[in-house]
Amino acid sequence: MNRLTPEQLRSHRWFGREAMRTFNHRSRMAQLGFAREDYAGKPVIGVLNTWSDINPCHSHFKERVEEVKRGVWLAGGFPLELPAMSIAEPFVKPSPLLYRNLLAMEVEELLRSHPVDGAVLMGGCDKTTPGLIMGATSMGLPFAFMPAGPMLRGSFNGKTLGSGSDMFKHWAEVRAGTLSMEEWEGVLSGIARSPGHCMTMGTASTMTSAAEALGLTLPGAASIPAPDSRHAQMAVATGRRIVEMVWDDLRPPQILTADAFDNAVTAVLALGGSTNALVHLIAMARRAGVMLDLARFDAIARDTPLIANLRPAGQYLMEDFFYAGGLPAMLARLNGKLVLDALTINGKTLGENIAGAQVFDDDVILPLNRPLVAEGSLAVLRGNLAPDGAVIKPAAAEARLRKHTGPAVVFEHYAELQDRIDDPDLDVTPDSVLVLKNAGPLGGPGMPEWGQLPIPKKLLQQGVRDMLRISDCRMSGTSFGACVLHVSPEAFVGGPLALVHTGDLIEMDVSQRKLHLHVSDEELARRRASWQAPKPRYQRGFGALYAAHVLQAHEGCDFDVLVRPGDTPEPDIY
């Protein structure tokens, strides 16, 4: 591998030439307190930090950014912290996904417009991982991803709690009248007790693990709990490594191949990962020129066992997973299903990185002959209700509902669902199919995580804890239940979901990958003729830009202008 010379560094155009503008650049660096020898002829590393006061997943990033910078300095580079949008999953409304593409645009333009040669991406909270990677992939500079790490286990009254999953379970018991408000407050106080993202196999751990399987992190980085001292060590090591990546000119196209994305999909399926991974990985892949689609997910799912015994599908949490050997150990157990010669950011192949990794607890990372689910931990459904696909997580659903036909109970929008779901006069039975419309990419807007539709209160009081539920939105990776999600095309743009009426029979069969509305083509055509498109959600601003350019769920919900082929020129420096 030919190493770059100092004159070949991108930052040389800003700092190394003798011209009026470059003199001004050096003058302003002196204003910041840096001498020319601090940065000239060295790789300049943009450290993109998604810390904010309202993002608990990243609350430790003020410390971690200094550790990343220390690694850069130690390796002979020059770090520049560049704050980037912090999409705090619990707080950002109407939906964090609405802003994933805005973060991706910001990342791409931060890197393009500044004098940087490479980047460390600091993220972990759900949408920050794909947003950061999408933008950096499009820019094309060497980059390394530094995952935030999961928080510690939750605890209440001697019981272990998992973020998200146990919140949903205990709230159902509050609504059913079996859990007091005092106990509920205790759950809330003990469920999230350290820095870091959700420690269940929710979207955060799913996407950071996918990033590691793609080869974008140092080996084992995604599994380390945020408060563990080894997480700080990993941050320093990531800073060191990015400097070498710049000298080696190790860029995204060398790593983000079709084989790498197959590895990431396999890892997600073996982990029992979030359904959100389909939307995000498709978007990430297409930024890299890889046409990943739902069919590829489904094909890999049919041959991949779920062997990570992690909530919500299983029993344990990410802290246990780390102590059991972490992602390298799980991938080593799966090595016959991976492309082992895929290159990673440390310059080694995936196979080299996982060679010798050991599983230390077979109850957490299960043997291949004793999987939690033999195959199909995610399933892509199709039919006249979802011509472009929908997704379900069968492992998180009650077995009786994996093949089910029942009458629809339809809610036109989420506000109506909230108003009616606990009405004692709601005409609903355990066999009913709850249907939520107008909650997709445009309808939500941003596909909010409403897909785990609440069980009607009167059914909860009868002991019902799962029902078939169908929507065009997403659900949290920490959620569970027989929830059919991402129905595409969405109702808001006139997809078949818009035409469902209360009382219509809906059939879902996971084994057949089938989602069918038992209404004749003639009746559907009559309904379509009378359907009226909703008014746009936004008249101006980013919302209007989003509405004009966002793609549907099966295409990754990216912007059409961001996946459009073609080059973006480097900025002129005169």
pLDDT (tens digit, 9 = 90+) per residue, 72-110? 999 999 999 999 999 999 999 999 999 999 999 999 999
449 contacts 474 by C-beta, under 8 angstroms: yes
Query: Which residue type, as a one-letter code, is found at position 308?
Result: A
pLDDT level of residue 1 (50, 70, 90 thresholds): low
Nearby residues of 46 by Cβ (< 8 Å), 6 or more positions away: 80, 82, 110, 111, 114, 116, 118, 119, 120
**Which tens digits make up the pLDDT trace of 510-530?**
999 999 999 999 999 999 999
Q: State whether the Cα torsion 11-13-15-17 is positive or negative.
A: positive
Q: What is the pLDDT of residue 491?
A: 98
Rounded Cα gap, residues 85 and 107, in angstroms: 9
Structural domains present in the chain: 42-151+194-354 (no CATH), 152-180+189-193 (no CATH), 379-530 (3.50.30.80)
Report CA dihedral (185, 190, 194, 197) to the nearest 10 degrees.
-80
pLDDT of residue 235: 98
Cα 265 from Cα 285, distance rounded (Å) = 11
**Digit-coded pLDDT (tens) for 154-189:** 999 999 999 988 998 898 899 999 999 999 999 999
What's the mean per-residue pLDDT of the chain?
96
Contact between 308 and 271 under an 8 Å Cβ cutoff? The reply is yes
List all residues 6 or more positions away from 526 whose beta carbon is below 8 Å from its beta carbon. none
pTM across the whole model: 0.97
Is the Cβ–Cβ distance between 114 and 85 less than 8 Å?
no
pLDDT over 70 at 457, yes or no: yes
C-alpha to C-alpha distance for 155 and 166, rounded to whole angstroms: 11
The single-letter code of the amino acid at 351 is G
